[in-house]
Amino acid sequence: MADDSFKEFVLDQLAALPDLRARAMFGAHGIYSGEQFFGILDEGRLFFKTDAGTEKDFTGRAMPPFTYEARGKTMKLGFHEVPPEILEQPHELVLWARKSIGVAAAKKQAKKKSR
């Protein structure tokens, strides 16, 4: 299956990250490093978690956000597609992933504080 080979490729490219794993979710796969959910694999594309500070790295390269359909509406999540040239360079990809892991950790911490 093409999706499985892409998933294995991405996991291999990100092998320098600790406790890396992919978990099936809603027809796609979530990518985790430890407890941090920082990436989505969907239909042969990789998306990383973004915030106001990192989103420009993606939008500046015309990379779209992750979207899905729900109740007839297009919904956006705080994830953007990783540029192909970054995906092909393991060292760069890991640097981008670490930023996304930081974003995920910060959002998780902010959620805990708001409770």
CA 98 remoteness from chain centre: 10
- Measured CA to CA, the distance from residue 75 to residue 73 in angstroms comes to 6
Average pLDDT in the 33-41 region?
96
Structure tokens at 108: 């998780």
At 77 the pLDDT is 86
1 pLDDT exceeds 50? no
Contact between 22 and 11 under an 8 Å Cβ cutoff? The reply is: yes
Percentage of the chain with pLDDT > 70?
A: 95
Q: pTM above the 0.85 mark? A: yes
